């Protein structure tokens, strides 16, 4: 008897080294609600497909998934729901850049400005003639400044809690050299910080978990170099779009960045985003510029007889 396989078509890309896997066909219908409402359907009814798409053996811990949807807002070219090996993301800057290049690859858009609906709001993206994508993110802000925590084995650590589409704890003062040779120690430290925040019930607004930890250092090649721990204990290869957005909001509120002034943010592997802010009715709107490259077009095959059909959990 011929098996009835489930097949999911995807386009892979990377933005500054960070992979994005855009699901373009084969996913179950999530209804006609907003992206926030469809996210809840995804989470409650199809979480097994999340892990099937991004976890091993088909994926790996760094892959960010992006489900391409018809937008509920007709002013938008597309809707998107972002997810990873640990769960779901409100917004993803590098993933949005990857999504825009994917839409171009599919022939759905050309150079120009487009609106994209996400679970946390509408973002605007512009694709230029040099294949760079500039994103106007959701309004970002610092929630708490100079939050001090006692981290086991590391002592007192101070950071800012800020929103850039996801929640971040941003640490400027630390003793680490941000280079790949120190990757495991950087991961141990940032995981310890996040565990300490959770243990002490230190959260973002309305009790939301601060699930991204970001540390910074000066560098001659940009305005700043960062290391970002993502929710699934993996690090961001790109400079992190939502993390850069949170950083820009803090810089602006501290008077260290003027409206329209460019800030170059480098990642742990050396890729760079250009960022700036504009102010709209008192709200800080981060603007992030980067580029992405298509790496694969493939069809995922799900065989329910496979013990690891829905990922290694």
Residue 92 annotated in active site? yes
Both structure tokens of 73 = 């807002």
Measured between alpha carbons, how far is 8 from 25 in angstroms, rounded to an integer? 6
Question: 240: closest CA among 182, 309, 169?
Answer: 169
Q: Which of 76, 92, 230, 250 is catalytic?
A: 92
Residues sharing a CB contact under 8 Å with residue 39, sequence separation 6 or more, in sequence order: 81, 88, 119
Q: What are phi and psi of 119, to 5 degrees?
A: -65, -20
Residues sharing a CB contact under 8 Å with residue 138, sequence separation 6 or more, in sequence order: 91, 118, 120, 121, 122, 123, 165
Q: Using the 8-state DSSP alphabet, how is residue 215 labeled? A: E
Q: Which of 69, 76, 230, 240 is catalytic?
A: 240
Both structure tokens of 167 = 């929640």
Angle at CA of residue 71, ends 69 and 77, nearest 5°: 95
Q: CB–CB of 275/251 below 8 Å?
A: no
Measured between alpha carbons, how far is 150 from 222 in angstroms, rounded to an integer? 31
Count of other CB atoms within 10 angstroms of residue 156? 9
Both structure tokens of 307 = 């013990």
Q: CB–CB of 292/97 below 8 Å?
A: yes
Residue 230 annotated in active site? no
- Return the active site residues: 92, 240
């Amino acid at each position: 008897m011929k098996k009835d396989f489930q097949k999911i078509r995807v386009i892979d890309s990377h933005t500054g080294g960070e992979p994005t896997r855009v699901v373009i066909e084969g996913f179950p219908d999530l209804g006609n609600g907003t992206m926030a409402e469809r996210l809840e359907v995804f989470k409650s009814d199809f979480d097994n497909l999340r892990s099937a798409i991004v976890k091993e053996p088909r994926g790996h811990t760094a892959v960010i998934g992006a489900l391409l949807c018809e937008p509920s807002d007709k002013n938008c070219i597309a809707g998107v729901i972002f997810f990873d090996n640990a769960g779901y993301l409100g917004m993803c800057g590098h993933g949005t850049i990857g999504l825009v290049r994917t839409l171009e690859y599919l022939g759905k858009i050309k150079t120009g400005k487009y609106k994209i609906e996400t679970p946390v709001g509408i973002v605007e993206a512009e694709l230029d003639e040099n294949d760079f994508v500039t994103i106007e993110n959701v309004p970002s802000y610092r929630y708490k400044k100079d939050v001090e925590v006692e981290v086991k084995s590391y002592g007192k650590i101070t950071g800012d809690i800020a929103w850039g589409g996801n929640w971040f704890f941003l640490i400027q003062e630390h003793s680490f050299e941000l280079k790949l040779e120190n990757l495991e120690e950087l991961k141990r430290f940032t995981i310890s910080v996040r565990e300490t925040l959770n243990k002490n019930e230190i959260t973002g607004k309305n009790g939301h978990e601060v699930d991204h930890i970001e540390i910074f250092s000066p560098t001659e090649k940009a305005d700043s170099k960062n290391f970002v721990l993502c929710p699934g204990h993996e690090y961001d290869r790109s400079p992190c779009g939502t993390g850069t957005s949170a950083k820009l909001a803090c810089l602006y509120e501290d008077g260290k960045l003027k409206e329209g002034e460019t800030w170059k943010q480098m990642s742990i592997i050396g890729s760079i985003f250009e960022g700036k802010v504009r102010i709209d009715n008192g709200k800080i709107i981060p603007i992030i510029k980067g580029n992405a490259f298509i790496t694969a077009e493939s069809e995922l095959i799900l065989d329910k007889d496979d013990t690891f059909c829905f990922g290694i959990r």
